[in-house]
Amino acid sequence: MLKFNSVSRIYNDGTRAVDNVSLHVKKGEFCVLLGPSGAGKTTLMNMVNGVVVPSSGHLVIGGVELSRKTRSTIQRKVGMIHQQLHLVPRLSVLHNVLTGRLPQVGFWRSLLKSFPRKDQRRACQLLQEVGLEEKHLYRRASTLSGGQQQRVAIARAFHSEPEVVLADEPVASLDPAMSRSVLDSLKSAARQHEATVVCTLHQMEYALEFADRIVALRQGQVFFDGHPNAMDETTQAELYELAKPDHLKQVAA
C-alpha cells in the first residue's frame, strides 16, 4: 500500500528531515510512528498526503508514485485526522462529516449544504460506526465533548473512502479511558473499510496496545521497525524515552 524507497527530504536550509527511509506499510495495517519532535514523523506524514515531495527516492501510494503531477490523485486516496481536528464549530455534526466529501462535490455545493442523499446516508452510517447516536446529528460541533469531536473527525476522514488515513496525535488532549475508546473506534473503522492507518503518538503504551506495527524515528532515520512484540526490554525503554513529549523530558531532567 505505502512504499517508501530510499526516501529523503532536504529543505533549502540544509535540514535533512528524512534521511534515506525505506518502508513498506501493508494494506490494512495500523502503523504507529514514534519519535521526538524533529525526528521526521510530520515530514513522512506530509509526504503521504502530497504536501511534501521527496528530495530523492520514491514514494508509492496505492500503486501511484508521488510526484507533482500525481499529487492531486494521491490526495484523493488519503484521509486526514488533524491533531486540532479542524471541525467547523458552527456546523452540525452531520455537515462536518459531509465536508469530508468536499474534493468530490465541490466548494459551492458544500457551502450551500447541498449534498447527495447517498452522501448523507453514508455520513449517518459512519457516525453510528464510531459510536455517535442519531441525537448528535444536528448538534453543533462546538457543543460536543473532546472525545465526541474526535469521533466526528474520524467519521469525516473515512467519508471519502480513502485507501490511507493519516492521524496526527489523535488522542493528545484526551484522558486515558477516552483515548483508548477513540483509538479503538479508529482501528475498527479502518478494519471495516479496509484502510491503512498511519498514526503519530506520544503515548508508548497506546502504541503497544493498538499498533500492528511501530516505526520509531530519530534524526530522520528509522530506529525501530516491527511488531510491538518484537521489541526487547532495552529497545522498549529507549522507545518510551523517544516517544515522551519534550516538555516531560525537560521536567525529568
Distances from the Cα of 236 to the Cαs of 82, 200, 223, 228, 232, in angstroms?
A: 27, 17, 12, 9, 6
Q: Residue 234, exposed/middle/buried by CB under 10 A (0-12, 13-18, 19+)?
A: exposed
Tens digits of residue pLDDT in 202-219: 888 999 999 999 999 999
More confident residue, 117 or 126: 126
Tens digits of residue pLDDT in 49-100: 988 989 999 999 988 998 889 988 888 899 999 888 889 999 999 999 998 8
Percentage of the residues of the chain whose pLDDT score is greater than 70: 90
Q: Of the candidates 54, 24, 37, which has an alpha carbon nearest to the alpha carbon of residue 219?
A: 37
Q: Of the candidates 120, 214, 200, which has an alpha carbon nearest to the alpha carbon of residue 159?
A: 120
pLDDT surpassing 90 at residue 199: yes
More confident residue, 251 or 150: 150
At 114 the pLDDT is: 66
CB atoms < 10 A from the CB of 227, how many? 10
CA dist 16 and 12 (Å) reads 9
Mean of all residue pLDDT scores within the chain:
88
CA dist 198 and 45 (Å) reads 8
Residues 6+ apart with CB under 8 A from 95: 88, 113
Tens digits of residue pLDDT in 100-110: 876 665 554 55
Full-model pTM:
0.88
Q: Is the Cβ–Cβ distance between 48 and 2 less than 8 Å? A: yes
The continuous run of DSSP H or E covering 190 comes out as helix 176-192
Q: Is the Cβ–Cβ distance between 50 and 79 less than 8 Å? A: no
Helix axes 146-159, 176-192, angle to 10 degrees: 10
